[in-house]
Structure 1
Amino acid sequence: MGLFGQFAYSDGRWSRGGPTAVPFLLVDVHDSGFATVDHRRADASGGRFFLRYEPRFYFAEVDASDPVDVDAEAEGFAAWTKEATGTDLDPADVRPLLASPTGVPPTDESVELTVDRLAALAGLPPVQWPIEADGYAG
């Protein structure tokens, strides 16, 4: 079994559970297989995308999630990053990390690795992943 957990970045740090301020980034990891990423800016704009797989492909259920416009979400995340960390991020660098809208299998072995790559691009500190016997120990 992989890692299940919710991790929030707000107020300049990562925490378990929900965010404490806006702007925020919320990463919900499901069995190390995929993550739902929600981000909100100070003006309440934001977005949602997935890492590794969209739920509709992960669960093989077409109604498990709506298709994601990955180009728009990459641009939205780059704007969030500029506001939250001051980092200029090219959406083209984000795009390859997002789950494929056609279900193409990801290259990373676990979603935690993809989250680590996304955090580094955004200028965020690394997530402190829990170390458990059957969890990710990155």
Structure 2
Amino acid sequence: MGFFGTYLYDGDKWTPHDNDVRPDLPGPWLTVDIHDSDIATISYSPADPGTGVAYIGVTPRIYFDDETASAPTDVAREAEGLAAWREELGASAVISDDLVDFLAEDEAEDWDSDEDSDDLADTEVFVEAKVVEFLTALSLPVPDDLLRS
């Protein structure tokens, strides 16, 4: 069984969060929802110029093999949205090109849930490890649970 957890960053700290509840905060926020160590949904507000939702690992469309599981992804747009979100916090700017490689696209050829993981890096096996690197690239603290996983 993989790792499951949902966390909310309110611009200051991380707290556990219910993924079914949209944060009601006055300022910028970001949530990370990790599902079974395979997929992480990153939701953020404000979202412009992105949509406010990005994925790490694989997208729901690929994970569930169902085109209706999520909207099509545009990683360049979401990387720009996340970089703009980071600037909204009033902290150092992040270049969207530095975020693109973290984000999942709707392409299945690179993902095989049955692949032998012995020869792969942790970030290729456990999405929570890739989330830690993503949050570090955003110059954000990391939720304690992810540091222990």
1:49 maps to 2:65: no
Equivalents in 1 of 2:17, 2:86: separation in Å? 20
Q: Which segments of 5 or more consecutive residues in structure 2 lack a partner in the other structure?
A: 113-122
Aligned pairs for 1:74-85 within 5 A? 74-84=79-89
Q: Which segments of 5 or more consecutive residues in structure 1 lack a partner in the other structure?
A: 131-135
Give 1:94 shift: 0.3
Structure 1 runs (4+) greater than 4 angstroms displaced: none
Number of equivalences: 132
1:73 is matched with which residue: 55, 63, 78? 78
CA RMSD of aligned residues (A): 2.4
Higher strand share: 1
Question: The residue matched to 2:86 in structure 1 has which SS?
Answer: helix
Distance 1:36 1:90, change over 3 A: same
Question: The residue matched to 1:80 in structure 2 has which SS?
Answer: helix
Equivalents in 2 of 1:85, 1:128: separation in Å? 24
Task: Give the structure 1 partner of residue 106 of structure 2.
Answer: 101
Q: Is the 8 A contact 2:54 2:103 kept in 1?
A: yes
TM-score, structure 1 normalization: 0.84
- Letter in structure 2 aligned against 1:51: I
Task: Give the structure 1 partner of residue 120 of structure 2.
Answer: none
Equivalents in 2 of 1:11, 1:69: separation in Å? 25
Give 1:100 shift: 2.2
Instruction: Give CA deviations for 1:64-119 in whole Å, capped at 9, x if unaligned.
Output: 11211111100000000111251211111100000123233396221111110111
Question: In percent, how many aligned pairs have the same letter?
Answer: 34
